[in-house]
Amino acid sequence: MAPALFSRLVTLASSLVLLSGLAVLWRHSLAAYIRTFARQSFLIVLAILLIAAQERDVRLCVVAALVLVIKVVLIPRVLHRVQRHVAADFEIHPYVNTPLSLVIAGALTLMSYAVAAPVVSLADLPTRGGIPLALATVFVGLFIIISRRSALSQIIGFLILENGIALLAVLATFGVPLIVELGVFLDVLLGVLVMQVFVYRIRETFDTIDVDRMKDLRH
Amino acid sequence: MLLVALLACPLLAAALAVPGILTRASVARAGAALSGLAFLLSIVLAGRVLAGGVVSFGPEEFLRVDGLSAVLLLVVTGVGFVALWFGEGGARPPAAGTEGGAETGRRYHALAGLFLFTMLLAVTVNNVGVMWVAIEATTIATAFLIGLHRSKAALEASWKYILIGSVGIALAFVGTVLAYFNFVQRVGSTPYALHWTVLSRVAVLLDPDVTRLAFVFVLVGYGTKAGLAPMHTWLPDAHSEAPAPISAMMSGSLLAVALYAILRFKVVVDACLGTSFTDRMLILTALVTLAVAALLLTRQANYKRLLAYSSVEHMGLMCLGSALGAPGVIAALLHALTHAAAKSMAFLLAGEIRDRYGTASLASVRGLLRAMPWTGALFAAGILALLGLPPAGLFLSEMMLLRAGFTAGRPWVMGMVLALLVLIFPALLTHLNRMLYGEPPEGTPRGDHPRRLMPLGLNLAVLLVLGLWIPGPLARLLWRAAEIVAP
């Protein structure tokens, strides 16, 4: 593939990843959040495969397969089950409303370009155009966690943040060493499994998964 | 091999907790015995490090123990040993009274073993990526342990803990990726680029701007786990809701392990940028942390939360020390040891007190010295030690810290630190007084067993000895560690 085309495709994939993160900000159905996350993970699989093909790197294909199994299939399946069991359908009253959320997300994206400037200027990689977008995905994930009240939305926020980091790692370094990558996947998977158990318990104890209802512990 | 044996101890303890191998009582005993063995192995390893410099295992030193790791190993295994031994002594399962007590007991021991393993791995592995994986895994192992009691408060605490902990640590991974990126861009791709030894060797070649950015992410990320303000919000909840032995391990050792991760990166960043950047960041963080601790300590109504905020304070002091050159690093590491001894003792005793009085509220605990003379006296000793009073070891480490600050030419910073410490002093002392004296509430059983408190003899010994003088081998070990962090 011509380097210019490759570079443009990678940036396109990265923008789509960020965009699917933003989708969470204007939708309200939790099922849609989970589908959005699965879609975003699939875009990351495509980005990794693109880079793997260009660099002729078999190791990256393994990583892509892992993302596919864990983040496109397994985790969404677990989350859909949780969502059905706790019968929570909507993120009803986020702390920040939709228009303001989008404005903040825009500001976060601009900020990522500023923060990532030294990284982009150091990189001589064809993939460097996507680096600020990956960082923006990280910040948007963080914002989702802070601004949403449902425990499930917070998990989605965490996963979007995690996806942003995975994208950053593959764009900036063509993947961290495999042993680290494997450890990261294991941690994410276990982390989500632990979190889902707590969602069940929160629902059992508080009759809702609105974390705003948990406020015994302040200061 | 010694290193592998050390890591195998807690893993074996966790495996033995699987149903069908041992009875519940022997699971607890095996856990305590294996953590004791791990403590002995750490002492032997520290001796080897003193003799030979570095102990390593695996290709390209995959596992590697130098002076800094050795100090942390002593902290982690020492606290782990006392906490698991103490937790084992009583017939009391960690979640007494709840259904499926035996099941909970096994789960507790399996997770405690895994928790200990992940901390040991974090301080012995050379690869900063794997170190990240290990520290993230501590969050996963401990989340269930905090929620073991299944109360509303415990649930809220564990949710906050796992969410804030995972996010914080994810940001530390961004820092790790940036460091790796920096390396690959400047030096080229090698499979060992994330090895701390390799990173610090080529640090001069790294790009300064990206290095700076990476350190900010690392400080925020691992700082969250280390309980540094303003990322400390989960800490008082988690540390006060967890079962006592787990609180002891989290406050005494896990916080220090997270600070260790920051120190490893500091070495790399300093080699690239000089020390002024990281020192300034760490001092600022330390001051904010101390201020937050001082303000919130005074208004606590729960003695376990009081201890948790005191951990925030002491992490602030350690963070400060690591920014004050070699003497400061020695003071900080000594402080990590003494704080681990005092805080784990205080948390374990707080667990006893809570069991006796049935509440962790400061207002309801009165007449501790009458109801539980031994426990009360030791608890008082622990709090006085945490206040930095002589003859406890924290007095010595805090003095060394202050001196390091003045020698490093930072009188203003040290003045502020002293002022904040003075604020904390009466707050803790008043609370302690109210707990110790007066009449215990009607119907509180009296008396306690000094035998049950035996494991805490180790804590007392460490506190007293280190309050008088630093034994030669330990002093040399601390020097080794300081030479690594502040060459």
* A86 has a chain B CB within 8 A of its CB: no
Instruction: Report the pLDDT value the prediction gives residue B98, as an integer from 0 to 100.
Output: 45
For residue A218, is it within any domain? no
B94 has a pLDDT exceeding 50: no
Q: Which of B62, B142, B163 to mutate to test the interface with A (most CBs of A within 10 A)?
A: B163
What percent of chain B shows pLDDT beyond 90? 64
Q: Looking at the partner chain, which of B152, B160, B181 has a beta carbon nearest the beta carbon of A205? A: B152
Tell me if A216 is assigned to some domain: no
Asked if A115's CB is within 8 angstroms of B213's CB, the reply is yes
Shortest Cα–Cα distance, B175 to chain A (Å): 10
pLDDT band at B36 (very low <50, low <70, confident <90, very high): very high
**Per-residue pLDDT at B90 exceeds 80:** no
B202 φ, ψ (degrees, to nearest 5)? -100, 10
- The structural domain count of chain B equals 1
Helix (H) or strand (E) holding A212: none
Comparing alpha-carbon positions, the chain A residue that sits nearest to B149 is: A201
Identify whether A138 is part of a domain.
yes
Phi first, then psi: what are they for B196, rounded to 5°? Answer: -60, -40
Residue B101 pLDDT: 61
HEC states along B8-25? HHHHHHHHHCCCCCCCHH
Contact B147 A179 (CB under 8 A): no
| Residue A219 covered by a domain | no
The reply to whether residue B213 touches residue A165, judged by beta carbons under 8 angstroms, is no
The residue of chain A nearest to residue B212, with distances taken between CA atoms, is: A118
Is A189 near chain B, with CB under 8 Å? no
Give yes or no for A161 touching B (CB within 8 A).
yes
Nearest to B133 among A135, A180, A198 (CB): A180
Kindly identify which residue of chain B lies nearest to residue A151, measuring between CA atoms. Answer: B159
Which candidate in A156, A180, A202 is best for mutational testing of the B interface (most B CBs within 10 A)?
A: A180
Instruction: Measure Cα distances from B246 to A175, B237, B373 in Å.
Output: 36, 13, 24
Pairing of strands B63-65, B55-57: antiparallel
* A204: in domain: yes
Calpha distance B237→B456 (Å, rounded)? 25
Separation of alpha carbons B334 and B342, rounded Å: 12
Cα of A214 to nearest chain B Cα, Å: 6
Name the H helices within B322-455. Answer: 325-357, 368-371, 373-386, 393-407, 411-436
Omega prior to B230 cis, within 30 of 0: yes
Query: Which of B169, B265, B132 is closest to B211 using CA atoms?
Result: B265
Confidence of residue B102 (pLDDT cuts 50, 70, 90): low
Looking at the complex, does the CB of residue A118 fall below 8 Å from at least one CB of chain B?
Answer: yes
| pLDDT higher than threshold 90 for residue B441 | no
* pLDDT tens-place values along chain A, 219 residues long: 788 899 999 999 999 999 999 988 888 889 999 999 999 999 999 999 999 998 888 889 999 999 999 999 999 999 999 998 887 777 767 788 888 989 999 999 999 999 999 888 888 888 888 999 999 999 999 999 989 888 999 999 999 999 999 999 999 888 788 878 888 888 889 999 999 998 988 888 888 888 877 776 655
Q: How close B57 comes to chain A (CA, Å)? A: 17
Contact across the interface for B166 and A158, Cβ inside 8 Å: yes
Q: Examine the pLDDT at B93 and tell me if it is beyond 50.
A: no
Determine the pLDDT at residue B97. 42
Instruction: Kindly give, in sequence order, each residue whose CB lies less than 8 Å from that of residue B412, ignoring residues fewer than 6 positions away.
Output: none
pLDDT on residue B297: 87
A169 near B CB under 8 A: yes
CA distance B399 to chain A (A): 30
- Say yes or no: A165 contacts chain B, CB-CB below 8 A: yes
Q: Is residue A26 part of a domain?
A: yes
User: CB A183 to CB B170 under 8 A?
Assistant: no
Q: Are B247 and B83 within 8 A, CB to CB?
A: no
Q: How far, in Å, CA of B5 to CA of A162, rounded?
A: 34
pLDDT (average), residues B231-237: 90
| pLDDT tens digits along A146-188 | 898 889 999 999 999 999 999 999 998 887 888 788 888 888 8
A194 and B144 within 8 Å at the Cβ level: the answer is yes
Residue B272 has what pLDDT?
A: 92
Structure confidence at residue B273 as a pLDDT band (50, 70, 90): very high
Lowest mean pLDDT among B257-266, B431-440, B445-454, B475-484: B445-454
Domain that holds residue B248: 2-91+100-485
Q: What mean pLDDT do residues B50-57 have? A: 88
Distance from CA of A81 to the nearest CA of B (A): 19
Nearest CB to A183 within list B130, B174, B181: B130
Nearest CA in chain A to B236: A219
Q: Quick one: average pLDDT of B82-89?
A: 81
Among the partner residues A122, A135, A180, nearest to B130 by beta-carbon distance: A180
How far is A117 from chain B, CA to nearest CA, in Å?
Answer: 9
pLDDT of residue A217: 67
Q: How many domains does chain A have?
A: 1
Task: Name the residue facing A123 among B156, B185, B296 (closest C-beta).
Answer: B185
The alpha-carbon gap from B300 to the nearest alpha carbon of chain A, in Å, equals: 8
Residues from chain B contacting residue A166 (CB–CB below 8 Å): none
Chain B residues touching A75 at Cβ < 8 A:
none
Chain B residues closer than 8 Å to A162 by CB: 170
Over residues B198-226, the pLDDT tens digits come to 998 889 999 999 999 999 999 999 999 99
**Which residue range(s) make up the domain with A31?**
3-210
* Cβ of residue A171 closer than 8 Å to a chain B Cβ: no
Q: How many CA atoms lie within 13 A of B310 on its CB side?
A: 33
Q: Is the pLDDT of residue B96 over 80?
A: no
Q: How far apart are CA A135 and CA B104, in angstroms?
A: 41
**How is A20-57 classified by DSSP, letter by letter?**
HHHHHHH--BHHHHHHHHHHHHHHHHHHHHHHHHHHT-
Q: Is the pLDDT of residue B157 over 80?
A: yes
Q: Report residue B341's pLDDT band, with 50, 70 and 90 as the boundaries.
A: very high
Q: Is the pLDDT of residue B18 over 90?
A: no
Nearest CA in chain A to B238: A217
ipTM above 0.90? yes
Residue A152 contacts B, CB cutoff 8 Å = no
Task: Taking residues B59-71, report their average pLDDT.
Answer: 92
Instruction: Judge whether A111 is closer than 8 Å to chain B, CB to CB.
Output: no
Across the interface, of B137, B162, B184, the residue whose CB is closest to A195 is: B162
Closest Cβ–Cβ partner in A115, A122, A180 for B194? A180
